[in-house]
Chain A
């Protein structure tokens, strides 16, 4: 009985410690993000490289996924609303569900699977190899040089790619809509515009940026938690990815709460 209570207590303490560490780390990163001295030529190079690996390299695969996903979702959804006689809700479905919910979610999953795990492993290996200590011993601020450019890159990548995903899905939606409903370009755009909300668009961009922030911050934080053993690298990646997934769910729920309540 006592051991059970001890386990519960230990778990609670660990969670609280982890939350506190994440919150502290988040606060430090946010402060650096808005500090002008963070942005120098070195951090700019890191940012460009990270952005290239995260956003540009994935682009062909991402566009193919967007087209396939857009065709499938639009095809099924349009056919369903046609069968149900709810064609008036076409715009609301596209703008209220596909653009504001599906696009950021699919994008964040792709980026998390591909880049978050890579960042997590990279930082953990740097920690194991004492590269971080070496950088600090040369007076290089790892926050400015390693972490902030990656997090900024993650935020911008999410904003750009989720917007691109939405645009591709809407373009595919035009094709599917013209095939299923025989809708013209003007009628389709009018339908979208009627359902488009400026507030929703701003919220989507903010949500995407928040996703980008946490799916890079959490892997970096978990990578820093790795010990000096190489065996701690996969553990750090595993913990990091689980927390990234939890963060995605929490942000999705919070954004829905903000949007609908």
Chain B
């Protein structure tokens, strides 16, 4: 019984010990604890963020660690790091050493080697380490964005200020928009909505009425002129006679009225294009002014050449 217990205990201890030693030995071997180690030295102007045990990384793999930090008599920080034999091939004379300070995570020394077949770095050489700070880089890159954001915020503040101001531009635009929509909601004519003044609309209607009256009067005038055929001679048919003049004026009047019709058609399409309609209204107004002036001139000319008096005297040839 005692021997069985001794055997079991001995077997357990042996197997477990072998397993533990094998595991520890494997880790030690893989970590390079038993391997030959090369020590190199770097220099830095500052020892900030540097620490013993800091990883030395090549291509994302930890190839060594900082073993000691020292301040020399010139105030330069000397960083000693150890690289196992199997990783020593990546540390060459042309290798660059960058101290990376990531935003998240611990700082590390990154080794970059362009030519892996180049001469090895001499243990006596003391290359200077370059500092790369993610935080500073990010701040530098973010500064213009922050400036832009600042300007945008300023504009937003101005817009909101304008919106808040009862006399501001935005409020005025909104009031105008409200007027337009309220007018649209009412069943007023588009012309009144466009002109914005009922008196102007009435004036246009009156003008059109007057134009019709003028046309009627012109017709009457032609009829009267026809009755004078054969009686007035040169005064009526001559080059400077009444009829050619009246015809010319009436043609002019007809053309202007045709243009007026086009303008009025455009007003009917005003809902489709407010800007275009506004332009048409301006044309309409100018055309109406021209017609009125032309018709006025016609009347004056006719009055001058054929004075319509209560008892007109017509000189017979």
Which residue numbers of A lie inside 8 Å of B, CB to CB? 45, 48-49, 51-52, 55-56, 59, 156, 159-160, 163-164, 167, 193-194, 196, 198, 201
Which residue numbers of B lie inside 8 Å of A, CB to CB? 2, 5-6, 8-9, 12-13, 16-17, 19-20, 23-24, 27-28, 30-31, 33, 62
Bound-state Cα–Cα, A51 to B5, Å: 10
Residue from A160, A194, A196 within 8 A of B20 (CB atoms) = A160
Residue from B12, B17, B19 within 8 A of A56 (CB atoms) = B12
Bound-state Cα–Cα, A51 to B10, Å: 10
B30 CB → nearest A CB, Å: 5
Known A160-B16, A160-B20, A163-B16: A51·B31 in contact at CB below 8 Å: no
Instruction: Indicate if the CB atoms of B16 and A193 lie closer than 8 Å.
Output: no
A153 CB → nearest B CB, Å: 10
Instruction: Indicate if the CB atoms of B5 and A193 lie closer than 8 Å.
Output: no
Bound-state Cα–Cα, A198 to B20, Å: 13
Hey, which chain A residues are within 8 Å of B2, CB to CB?
A: 45
Instruction: Indicate if the CB atoms of B19 and A167 lie closer than 8 Å.
Output: yes
Nearest chain B residue, comparing its CB with the CB of A202: B24
Known A163-B20, A201-B24: A193·B9 in contact at CB below 8 Å: no
Hey, which chain A residues are within 8 Å of B23, CB to CB?
A: 163, 167
Bound-state Cα–Cα, A193 to B6, Å: 36
B13 CB → nearest A CB, Å: 7
Hey, which chain B residues are within 8 Å of A167, CB to CB?
A: 19-20, 23
Instruction: Indicate if the CB atoms of B16 and A56 lie closer than 8 Å.
Output: no
Residue pairs across A and B with CB atoms within 8 Å: the count is 45
Known A49-B5, A52-B8, A56-B8: A164·B27 in contact at CB below 8 Å: no
Hey, which chain B residues are within 8 Å of A159, CB to CB?
A: 20
Instruction: Indicate if the CB atoms of B9 and A198 lie closer than 8 Å.
Output: no
A236 CB → nearest B CB, Å: 28
Nearest chain B residue, comparing its CB with the CB of A160: B16
Nearest chain A residue, comparing its CB with the CB of B13: A160
**7 additional contacts (CB under 8 A) given A52-B8, A163-B16:** A48-B5, A156-B13, A163-B20, A164-B19, A167-B23, A193-B27, A198-B27
User: In terms of DSSP, what is the predominant structure of the interface of chain A?
Assistant: helix
Residue from B12, B13, B27 within 8 A of A196 (CB atoms) = B27
Bound-state Cα–Cα, A243 to B151, Å: 67
Hey, which chain B residues are within 8 Å of A194, CB to CB?
A: 62
Hey, which chain B residues are within 8 Å of A198, CB to CB?
A: 27-28, 31, 33
B54 CB → nearest A CB, Å: 14
Bound-state Cα–Cα, A52 to B19, Å: 19
Residue from A49, A56, A193 within 8 A of B30 (CB atoms) = A193
Which 10 residue pairs are nearest across A and B when measured between Cβ atoms? A160-B16, A163-B20, A52-B5, A193-B30, A196-B27, A56-B12, A56-B8, A52-B9, A48-B9, A51-B9
Nearest chain B residue, comparing its CB with the CB of A51: B9
Bound-state Cα–Cα, A59 to B12, Å: 9
User: Could you jot down 27 A-B contacts, CB within 8 Å?
Assistant: A45-B2, A48-B5, A48-B6, A49-B5, A52-B5, A52-B9, A55-B12, A56-B5, A56-B8, A56-B12, A59-B12, A156-B13, A160-B16, A160-B17, A160-B20, A163-B16, A163-B20, A164-B19, A167-B20, A194-B62, A196-B27, A196-B31, A198-B27, A198-B28, A198-B31, A198-B33, A201-B27
A183 CB → nearest B CB, Å: 17
Hey, which chain A residues are within 8 Å of B16, CB to CB?
A: 160, 163-164
Hey, which chain B residues are within 8 Å of A48, CB to CB?
A: 5-6, 9
Bound-state Cα–Cα, A167 to B23, Å: 9
